[in-house]
Amino acid sequence: MGRAPASRRRRPVSNTEVAHALREMSLFLEMDEVPFKPRAYEKAALAVDALERPLAEIDAEAGREGIERLPGVGKRLAEKIHELLATGRMAALERLRKRTPVDVLGLTAVEGLGPKGVHVLYEELGIRDVRGLEKACREERVRALPHFGAKSEEKLLRGIGLLAGTAGRQLLGQVLPVARDIEARLRGFSGVKRATLAGSVRRRKETIGDLDFLVATRDPDKVGRAFARMSDVEHVYGHGETKVMVRLTSGMDADLRLVSEASFGAALCYFTGSKAHNVALRRIAQTRGLKLNEYGLFRGSRKLAGRSEEEVYQALGLDWIPPELREDAGEIEAAAKGRLPRLIDHGDLRGDLQIQTDWTDGSASIDEMADAARKLGLEYIAITDHTRDLAMARGSDEKRLLEQAEAIRGLNRKLRGFRVLSGAEVNIREDGSLDVADEALAQLEVVGAAVHSRFRQSRTQMTRRVIRALENPHVDILFHPTARSIGHREPVDLDVDAVIAAAVRTGTVLEIDAMPDRLDLRDAYVRKAVEAGALLAIDSDAHQPGHLAYADEFGVAVARRGWARKADVVNALPVTKCLARLKDGGGGRGRRRRRRSRAGMRGSEET
């Protein structure tokens, strides 16, 4: 924030960038089997890595001679480094990149792949980057090459898998703030008419491979240069007339596309994807004798649409489709029939039903959380601290839970226009029983139940365990139903369809936990739950005030990706109605079944 002016100045080349350039040189030279030189570049890269002072400073102070004093850096190399520091480019490297346009650093980071292998893969199969390599391995095209076999495909895929776990995709929650910041800066660049996020971030996928930005401008050259010079750009992979590809200091890659205003809508549609959605759109265009690409929708050479997305969809006979739905999962058929759901929207939530405080492992008091929630525009929150079995989180026993409920009643007497609900996040034990007695649960307003231990039970056991908890009439919500932690813990092995059916039968609410590494239920399961007529809650699972915004930011995004409407979400209701729905009977106590017409959604499922 507020960094825009700095981003327009040319930023000094960092030591990391110099080291990367030297390594890249070394790899390209090794690829060409040049003797000795690769080792010299590699050594120089190590020397640069070890430096504490910025090279740019040394260069400004003592020029080439200063650089030459570094261990292992001779005259020729000092020249090259100086050139990079002074101009932001290294001509020799650019020549090599041009001749073999591959991501040699990325590819050689894959276990078991060296520069010579990279060269063969490029020459024979046109593979330029890790994604291309993965695809070729999966399509079994690599095994036909000399010195590669079925075994090496397997090994490379394993190597790529390891990479993906660390340097690969990042959580939407980490990426979105960075992406929004860059989007805002792009809008401030001179010559920019429109600028927006595209790709998987715009679709709000739970993890992001790289960032995509789109700009409408009449001066792509100038805007592209300004983008490449932003302070958080670490490396420029390529800079063409309509496209700039960079790596950010956060480790994420970003692509910028530059188009005219007349093509902005078509380009936005194209670069938002998903690829599958694009392919399906193009097929529709073809059946109408039209051609769709990133420049517009054409009949012959006549352009029918392109300025806005709405115009493009309309010309194809479709309603505009929210980006979160663009996965070719029935949205196009629904749009053709005018039956897209009206999705829940940001700003629709009125309460938050899972919040931890300093009574257990949260960092703020009940008052502080209530205050922060009210500032976000919420009308109520439930305090759901952990219970007994979670010793690490100092889980409450019955006595403490009731003490806390009493404190909450006291607080509510002071609050105007805001309500704090008493509650708990109880543990579902191995056998499906709970770690808090029913008599205590009966006195709480919101009871969430969750699996926090014994994650590796068999599917049969786990499913039975969870369903038994849902059948407890005091349990209102199943918190983070599959207990996954993206990148850390696999979801538990659960028959989610059976759990959804049990939730509908018992009138238990299913949660979308909005913590960026949980997002649980995930999008595909949300869709199943909605189709089955289950009711959802979208909660932050906040452990501090700063987490409260996650519910609206990421939880609502997941709900939208799961085709959920406002009516499917219990905490989009005002507090009294929300409570009435939560306590609407209980398992076996004649709870009214929710049966709503789903004609629109069923229609979309036919194909």
DSSP-derived 3-state class of residue 233 = strand
Q: Which stretch binds ligand DGT (CB under 6 A): 270-278, 356-364, 474-482, 564-572?
A: 270-278
Minimum distance, C-beta of residue 99 to ligand DGT, in the bound complex (Å): 24
539 interacts with ligand DGT by CB under 6 A:
no
Local structure of residue 307 (DSSP, 8 states)? S
Distance of CA 30 to the CA centre of its chain: 37
The residue behind tokens 């005018």 is: 338
Adjacency order of strands within the sheet including 419-427: 351-352, 380-383, 419-427, 446-450, 477-478, 509-513, 536-539
Strand, helix or coil at 285? helix
Q: Mask of contacts with ligand DGT, 476-515, x by CB under 6 A? A: ----------------------------------------
Give the residue, chosen from 210, 234, 311, 476, that forms a contact with ligand DGT under the rule CB under 6 A: 210
Question: What is the x/- site pattern for Ca ion, positions 537-566, by CB under 5 A?
Answer: ------------------------------
550 binds, among Ca ion, ligand DGT, Zn ion, none (CB under 5 to 8 A by kind): none
For residues 607 and 595, give the distance between their C-alpha atoms in angstroms, rounded to a whole number. 24
Q: Which of 271, 313, 380, 563 binds ligand DGT (CB under 6 A)?
A: 271
CA separation for the pair 499, 242 (Å, rounded):
49
Two structure tokens written together for 84: 């990079």
Site for ligand DGT in 189-208 (CB under 6 A): 199-200, 205, 208
Is the peptide bond between 274 and the residue preceding it cis, with omega within 30 degrees of 0? yes
- Does 603 bind ligand DGT (CB under 6 A)? Our answer is no
Residue 392, helix vs strand vs coil: helix
Residues 340, 450, 519, 534: which binds Zn ion (CB under 5 A)?
Answer: 450
Min dist CB 267 to ligand DGT, Å, is 10
Helix orientation angle between 150-166 and 130-138, rounded to the nearest 10 degrees: 140
Does 245 sit near Zn ion (CB under 5 A)?
no
208 vs 230 by CB, closer to ligand DGT:
208
Cα separation, 32 vs 283, whole angstroms: 44
DSSP state string for 494-562: --HHHHHHHHHHHTPEEEEE--TTT-BS-HHHHHHHHHHT--EEEE--BSSGGGTTHIIIIIHHHHHHT
Report if residue 213 touches ligand DGT, rule: CB under 6 A. no
Is the Cβ of residue 210 or residue 352 nearer to ligand DGT in the bound state?
A: 210
CB of 95 to ligand DGT, least distance (A): 28
Element (H, E) at 459: helix 459-471
Question: According to CB under 6 A, which one of 206, 212, 476, 539 is a site residue for ligand DGT?
Answer: 212
Q: Looking at the DSSP assignment, which residues form a beta bridge with residue 426?
A: 449
Judged by CB, which is closer to Ca ion: 421, or 519?
Answer: 519
Contact 429, 387 (CB under 8 A): no
Q: Does 212 bind Ca ion (CB under 5 A)?
A: yes
519 binds ligand DGT (CB under 6 A): no
334 lines the binding site for Zn ion (CB under 5 A):
no
CA torsion sign, 526 to 197 to 326 to 566?
positive
Specify the residue, 15 or 278, whose C-beta has the smaller distance to ligand DGT.
Answer: 278
Which of 50, 150, 184, 279 is the binder for ligand DGT (CB under 6 A)? 279
Indicate which single residue of 234, 255, 311, 552 sits in contact with Ca ion (rule: CB under 5 A).
Answer: 255
**333 is an interface residue for ligand DGT by CB under 6 A:** no
| Residue 292 to residue 476: CA distance in whole angstroms | 49
Interface region with Ca ion, contact rule CB under 5 A, candidates 191-199, 233-241, 329-337, 434-442:
191-199
Q: Is 475 in the site for Zn ion (CB under 5 A)?
A: no
Report how far residue 469's alpha carbon sits from residue 474's, in angstroms, rounded to the nearest whole number: 9
Query: What is the three-state SS of 421-444?
Result: EEEEEEEECCCCCECCCHHHHCCC
Cβ proximity to ligand DGT, 148 vs 271, nearer residue: 271
11-50: contacts with Zn ion (CB under 5 A): none
In angstroms, how far is CA 246 from the centroid of its own chain?
A: 19
CB nearer to Zn ion: pick between 334 and 450: 450
Residue 396 found at the interface with ligand DGT (CB under 6 A) = no
* Binding pattern for the stretch 146-185 against ligand DGT, x by CB under 6 A and - elsewhere: ----------------------------------------
Q: What Å distances lie between residue 143 and 121, 129, 147, 149, CA to CA? A: 11, 18, 9, 4
Among 174, 274, 314, 365, binds ligand DGT (CB under 6 A): 274
Q: Applying CB under 5 A, does 383 fall inside the site for Zn ion?
A: no
Tell me the three state secondary structure of residue 376: coil
Q: Which does 103 bind (CB under 5 to 8 A by kind): Ca ion, ligand DGT, Zn ion, none?
A: none
Q: Which residue is nearest to Zn ion (CB)?
A: 450
Task: Count other C-beta atoms under 10 Å from residue 595's C-beta.
Answer: 8
Which one of 134, 210, 435, 511 is in contact with Ca ion (CB under 5 A)?
210
Query: Does 106 engage in binding with ligand DGT (CB under 6 A)?
Result: no
Cβ nearer to ligand DGT, comparing 270 with 479:
270
Instruction: Specify the length of the chain in residues.
Output: 607
Q: Which is nearer to Zn ion, 170 or 472 (CB)?
A: 472
On whether the CB atoms of residues 545 and 551 are closer than 8 A, the answer is no
Closer to Ca ion by Cβ: residue 212 or 523: 212
N- to C-terminal Cα separation, the chain: 46
Distance of CA 56 to the CA centre of its chain: 35
Q: Does 24 bind ligand DGT (CB under 6 A)?
A: no
Rounded CA-CA distance 89/345 in Å is: 46
Contact 265, 308 (CB under 8 A): yes
450 binds, options Ca ion, Zn ion, ligand DGT, none, Cβ within 5 to 8 A by partner type: Zn ion
Instruction: Using the minimum distance from each CB to Ca ion, give the nearer residue, 199 or 220.
Output: 199
Rg of the chain on CA atoms, in Å: 28
Q: Of the two residues 212 and 379, which places its CB atom closer to Ca ion in the complex?
A: 212
Which two structure tokens, joined as six digits, stand for 600?
């629109």
Find which of Zn ion, ligand DGT, Ca ion, none residue 278 binds, CB within 5 to 8 Å per kind.
ligand DGT
Residue 364 near Zn ion by CB under 5 A? no
CB 64 within 8 A of CB 86: no
103 near Ca ion (CB under 5 A):
no
Question: Which residues of the shown chain bind Ca ion in the complex (CB under 5 A)?
Answer: 199-200, 210, 212, 255
Question: Which residues of the shown chain bind Zn ion in the complex (CB under 5 A)?
Answer: 450
Question: Which residues of the shown chain bind ligand DGT in the complex (CB under 6 A)?
Answer: 199-200, 205, 208-210, 212, 270-271, 273-275, 278-279
